[in-house]
Amino acid sequence: MKEKIDSLRQGFEQELAKAASSEAVEKLRVAYLGRKGSVTELLKGLKDVGAQEKKELGQHINQLKKQVEERLSQQVEAIRAAEEQREIDSAQQYDVTLPVGGALGSYHPITVVQRQLEEIFASMGFIVEDYNEIVTDYQCFEAVNIPKDHPARDMQDTYYLENGQLLKTHTSAAQNFILQKYGAPVRAIFPGRCFRNEATDASHETTFFQMEGIMVDKNISISNLIYFMKTMLSEVFERDVKVRLRPGFFPFVEPGFELDINCLICGGEGCSTCHHSGWVELCPCGMIHPNVLKMGGVDPEEYTGFAFGLGLTRLVMMKYGVKDIRDLNSGNLKALSQFRQA
């Protein structure tokens, strides 16, 4: 039996040297260590030998078994390492020290305009705040006076997460946070990405940017709101643009307005961007509802304020004459490189 063990060991090593894939190694494992494998059969054969011999042979067979197990896992590891090396060798090699050639990167036009707006508002004493994209139902709706089952929720088809949180549908979701953080008086803008389950068209995307602003102080009125909106638009467009203010309903402002801009794609004649109306909804706004101030920890008897929710992506479309909002989200470098700043 001793010779049998030695010849099995030799045979195993020869076969292992030829096993070049993990499947071949697995076959070998079954052939030697499986239920009917050669080593297992040897162990079974021990029952037919005497007690003294059994002890000695048992030790030899167990040594062989251990050796086979170790060699098999060594072979698996060697095959894996060789595969990894092959992948590395075949991957494209980059020399990171080479100077940049070809296309230069540039800021996205939305980032360019957002930064411009941040500078404009900062120069008028506004803080610039950042806020989460995943928010709670309370932040997005209840804290801005849209209780559960309020019909206003239907206007914002919302992506809910399994844990009950949601992708923010509007930057107003940060109003409560800002009021709680700074109290009154406060002037703040907070740009951010918003998400809605929209049917997309030339002026609607499922992912778009807004820039919210609030100003809360003693004696703030609609005149202040109009002043800041006018200043912002004339700074961004660097020319006179026609706007109109009409009543608009949002549960978190009272009174509320829709600020529309004369469509700069068609000059007001009507096109697919403005849905053939000549006007583009750009910046709803209004005087902050007392309930919103209260929930933000601000006394509405003492303070008033305005809020606006600028459609930043649409503003970019108007500023640069982009007819279709989808071009801005496409990641199409040919389209986006046109906005590269010198």
For β-strands 186-195 and 207-217, DSSP reports them as antiparallel
Binding footprint of ligand FA5 on the chain (CB under 6 A): 170, 172, 196, 198, 204-205, 208, 210, 212, 250, 253, 256, 281-282, 284-286, 307-309, 311, 313-314, 325
Side chain identity, residue 68: V
Side chain identity, residue 245: L
CA distance 208 to 326: 10
Q: What is the smallest separation between the CB atom of 140 and ligand FA5, expressed in angstroms?
A: 10
Residue at token pair 């060697």: 78
As a whole number of Å, the end-to-end CA separation of the chain is: 85
Q: What is the smallest separation between the CB atom of 284 and ligand FA5, expressed in angstroms?
A: 4
Cβ closest to ligand FA5, residue 255 vs residue 267: 255
Q: What is the CA angle 336-339-342, rounded to 5?
A: 130
Q: What is the smallest separation between the CB atom of 340 and ligand FA5, expressed in angstroms?
A: 24
Residue at token pair 């961004």: 236
Cβ closest to ligand FA5, residue 61 vs residue 259: 259
CA 218 to chain centre: 39
Cβ closest to ligand FA5, residue 248 vs residue 268: 248
Cβ closest to ligand FA5, residue 57 vs residue 318: 318
Position with the least CB separation from ligand FA5: 311
Q: What is the smallest separation between the CB atom of 212 and ligand FA5, expressed in angstroms?
A: 6
CA distance 211 to 229: 12
Q: What is the smallest separation between the CB atom of 99 and ligand FA5, expressed in angstroms?
A: 39
> Would you report the helix, strand and coil content of the chain in percent, each value rounded to 5?
45, 20, 35
Cβ closest to ligand FA5, residue 11 vs residue 255: 255
322 neighbors 328 (Cβ within 8 angstroms): yes
Q: What is the smallest separation between the CB atom of 334 and ligand FA5, expressed in angstroms?
A: 22
CA distance 59 to 179: 78
Q: Name the β-bridge partners of 211.
A: 191, 310
Cβ closest to ligand FA5, residue 129 vs residue 212: 212
Cβ closest to ligand FA5, residue 75 vs residue 156: 156
Q: What dihedral angle (degrees, nearest 10) is formed by the CA atoms of 164, 169, 172, 173?
A: 20
Q: What is the smallest separation between the CB atom of 221 and ligand FA5, expressed in angstroms?
A: 15
